[in-house]
Amino acid sequence: MESLKVALLQLLPAESPEDNLQKGLEGCRKAKAMGADIALFPEMWSNGYGIPSFWGTPAPESWKEQAIPADGAFARSFGQLARELNMAIAVTLLEQHQPSPRNTVLLFDRHGQNVLTYAKVHTCDFDRERELTPGEDFYVTDLDTGKGTVRVGAMICFDREFPESARILMLKGAEIILVPNACPMEINRLSQLRARAFENMVGIATCNYPDGQPDCNGHSTAFDGMAYRNDLPRDTLILEAGEREGIYLADFPMNELRAYRSREVFGNAYRHPRLYSLLTAENRQPPFIRDDYRP
């Protein structure tokens, strides 16, 4: 498999889920015309991440009013379009769930089948997302692209800030990690993504909202995870969008990435897991005690 092309749909949301549906479908059609194998949306596309802060507001009801089912008409429309276009689509939504909604990405393969459902594990409990139900695990799937099969996983926005997220996906076999996002992508957050790609030897595709969406600034990115080429160091960044709305196509050289993973020293090549038990310990000590932490 020579390459995997991921379209980053750096789009401004519309005024309603219905309008977001239509704009999203149009964006997917444009991505297909550009040659994409996968179309990736920013975080919580169904409502444009349009939730008020919980501080002083009845946010739990706001979440529930805007949540939609993962098997409802919105999601099914993208599954049907994926089959029509013969292209995978990773669409995001505020998902109906009990006891409270989830921040979710659904990956439909080119046959229109939902092959991966991932809910954000590291919800932003210091802010509005504390009212959401966190996801319970990280998942990967074998994605049939028509040109070959790629092992794909997903994480969402704040998940990026925990090395364990991408590490677990790598250990489960992920070659490409899809990352829906909704926050300002500045040098530190971009550095986190660069590090996650480098240390795990995985490709990472991140789609953010453009400038004009509150608290967002575009800069959707793709890192191919290959720190060396012909024995020379290189930047793993293969695409960085600007701030404007648009669709940006990242081309991951899969054959080269797989050869690199088979010989380089990162990922799971030289780890010593028997020494890492502290990583799964539940105890927390100052200065990291937070009253709003949810175990």
CA distances from 38 to 41, 57, 173, 201 (A): 10, 38, 19, 20
Phi and psi at 141, nearest 5°, equal: -145, 155
- What 3-state class would DSSP assign to 124? coil
Is residue 208 within 8 Å of residue 183, measured between CB atoms? yes
Clarify whether 120 is annotated catalytic: yes
Clarify whether 43 is annotated catalytic: yes
Clarify whether 183 is annotated catalytic: no
- What 3-state class would DSSP assign to 82? helix
Buried b (16+ CB within 10 A) or exposed e, 170-186: bbeebbbbbbbbbbebe
Catalytic residue among 5, 28, 120, 175: 120
What is the enclosing helix (H) or strand (E) of 144?
Answer: strand 140-144
| Plot region of 75 (φ>0 → left; ψ -120 to 50 → alpha; else → beta) | alpha
Q: What are 42's two structure tokens?
A: 């920013």
Catalytic residue among 43, 95, 129, 175: 43
Instruction: Please provide the size of the chain in residues.
Output: 295
Catalytic residue among 32, 95, 157, 216: 157
Parallel, antiparallel, or unpaired: how do β-strands 4-10 and 38-40 relate? parallel
Catalytic residues: 43, 120, 157
